[in-house]
Amino acid sequence: MYSTKSLIIGASLGALMSLGTAPGAEAKQSQDDLSSKEMARQIQALRDQVESLQHRLDTQAAAQEQTKAAADGAAAQAAAAKAQATEIPAQVEAQVRTAVDAAKPKTDKIYYNGVTVTLGGFLAAESVYRSRSEQADIGSSFGAIPFNNSALGQTSELRFTARQSRFSALAEGDVNPDTHLAFYSEVDFLGAAQTANSNESNSFTPRIRTMYGTVDWNNLGLHFLAGQSWSLITLNSKGIAPRTEIPPPAIDAQYVPGFTWTRQPQIRLTKDFNKQVWAAVSLENPQTTFYTGANALPATVHLNYNAPAGSLFNSANTMSLNRLPDVVAKIAVDPSFAHRTAHLEAYGLYRSFYERLNYSNQSASGAGFGAGLIVPLIPKILDFQVSGLAGKGIGRYGSGQLADVTFDPAGNIRPISEIEAMAGLTLHPTPKLDIYLFAGEEKDSAQSYDLTTGTGAVVGYGYGNPLYSNSGCVSETATGGCAGNTRLIQQGTAGFWYRPYAGSFGRIQWGLQYSHTERKAFAGAGGIAPVANDNMVFGSFRYYPY
């Protein structure tokens, strides 16, 4: 641009100079031909032409500057548009994802043919250490802790296990707004057929924990349950509804001595009164645990009270003779006070024991009364629970699994009196951490009988008889018998559960538990009352994918 301008200016100046330096003859002729006025006019015209050219050049330069600025602006806009164009797909994708997520149901349930299915369960990798070997997996045998006469009582045990892993499924459907159907099943791997062992493949069998169906008529306040579930005597956290049972948060699959429970087939009907007061009755599968005595019954007594298991049962087991179901009636209330909602319940248990004695059928009755309470001492921070059962013939319902009944010298069934109780605190210092402390015990009363033989000797029968010999319980080298009838099982246990992750991929939690358990026997001949204690440490890692 500037080179063109210089050429024009140079040409104009050259023309002016050529006019001023013409040959003398021509200059003289020009001076004669042209007047001074005409020359001035021509010079002015040339000057005007130069100025015009200068103006045009200035205008052209300004236009070029504007064009360059516009081009630079367009280039910047194009770059911005290009950058925005690359962001639009990501923005659109995010908007689409947000819309899709908003359209999804706010649930993790599965919908199939009008039925809602909820999956549950966890993977458990666990371990247990016991100071006295019980030859047991993750569930302890509190009533069979070995005394000092046993080699097991002198050895410890360590086991790893995954058998408490669990799978559950809940299917729900609505017949109409007031009638609701549900089916619930829960399975773990603590079943042990005769082929199950820990030698190589660890082929333990699945087992039913619970499997039942329910019908709820909300307009009537009626609830029906049929199938295998927790016994109605089990403590609930609210009302009397299935899946609100609240066992201790222990890792030990046998929970805590003094905790009253079974899981067994039953038929149950519940009535709620505005969801504040609940009443229920349950007919449950019967089974009796026996202690026949340290001495054989007289030869004149012909007794049958159980028999080897038959079809579809494990033939290594025995089954009691049964004629009536266990009957449980329960009432529960959920009172509110001081910004707290508590749970209080009371129940009664009736049992019938059956035998074939001296070629005729005989029976005896057992009964118990129990209660439970749950109250948040500090709402959402500290919970307290206590429960217990007292009666005759109730040993089956305690975690210690003591005998229900024994026999007198004539072979008659005699229910054993027992008290079962448990209490505990659960602290929730943070949403991720639970700390618990529980204590429980199961205590039997002696149900003993004496028979004087024709020779004048006195023979003891029943349970907890002071004539029984316990001298052999003292050590491995001791001589004499070891009846070792359990009088008392006590345990204190503490532990925690920590949940480091809970999110869209499920939940992870791990925990530790320590328990100290004492098994105390009735005093026998010579006042010998053997005692055995077991210190246990449990560890658990669990992953809940659902």
| Collapsed DSSP state (helix, strand, coil) of residue 148 | coil
Measure the CA–CA gap between 70 and 315, rounded to whole angstroms: 97
pLDDT of residue 403: 97
| Lowest mean pLDDT across 41-55, 161-175, 259-273, 376-390 | 41-55
Asked if residue 262 lies in contact with residue 451, where contact means CB atoms within 8 angstroms, the answer is no
| Lowest mean pLDDT across 33-37, 242-246, 458-462, 532-536 | 33-37
From the number of C-beta atoms within 10 Å of its C-beta (0-12, 13-18, 19+), residue 99 rates as: exposed
Tokens 């089974």, residue located: 287
Measure the CA–CA gap between 41 and 50, rounded to whole angstroms: 14
Mean pLDDT score across all residues of the chain: 89
pLDDT of residue 83: 61
Instruction: State phi, psi for 515 to the nearest 5 degrees.
Output: -140, 145
Enter the pTM of the model.
0.79
pLDDT of residue 35: 63
If phi > 0 it is left, if psi is from -120 to 50 it is alpha, else beta; for residue 316 that is alpha
- Tokens (6 digits) for 342: 């508590």
Q: Would the pLDDT of 540 be above 90?
A: yes
Q: Would the pLDDT of 248 be above 80?
A: yes
Tell me the pLDDT tens digit for each residue of 422-453.
999 999 999 999 999 999 999 999 999 999 99
Residue 21 — very low, low, confident or very high, per pLDDT cuts 50/70/90? Answer: very low
What is the DSSP annotation of 400-416? T---SEEE-TT--EEEP
Average pLDDT over residues 51-65: 70
* Residue 224 parent element (H or E): strand 222-230
Tell me the pLDDT tens digit for each residue of 465-521.
999 999 999 999 999 999 999 999 999 999 999 999 999 999 999 999 999 999 999
Measure the CA–CA gap between 389 and 385, rounded to whole angstroms: 14
- Tokens (6 digits) for 174: 């609505």
Q: Percentage of the chain with pLDDT > 90?
A: 74
- Tokens (6 digits) for 79: 């770059």
Cα four-point dihedral sign 131, 133, 137, 143: negative
Measure the CA–CA gap between 417 and 413, rounded to whole angstroms: 13
Label the pairing between strands 360-378 and 326-333.
Answer: unpaired
Q: How far is CA 199 from CA 188, 235, 265, in A?
A: 20, 38, 33
| Collapsed DSSP state (helix, strand, coil) of residue 247 | coil
Degrees, nearest 5: CA angle 156-159-163: 145
Q: Percentage of the chain with pLDDT > 70?
A: 85
Q: Would the pLDDT of 409 be above 90?
A: yes
Count CB-CB contacts under 10 A for residue 544.
15
- Tokens (6 digits) for 317: 């087991």
23-26 long-range contacts, CB within 8 A, separation 24+: none
- List beta partners, residue 495: 436, 513
Tell me the pLDDT tens digit for each residue of 165-215.
999 999 999 999 999 999 999 999 998 877 677 777 777 889 999 999 999
Average pLDDT over residues 264-290: 97
pLDDT of residue 1: 47
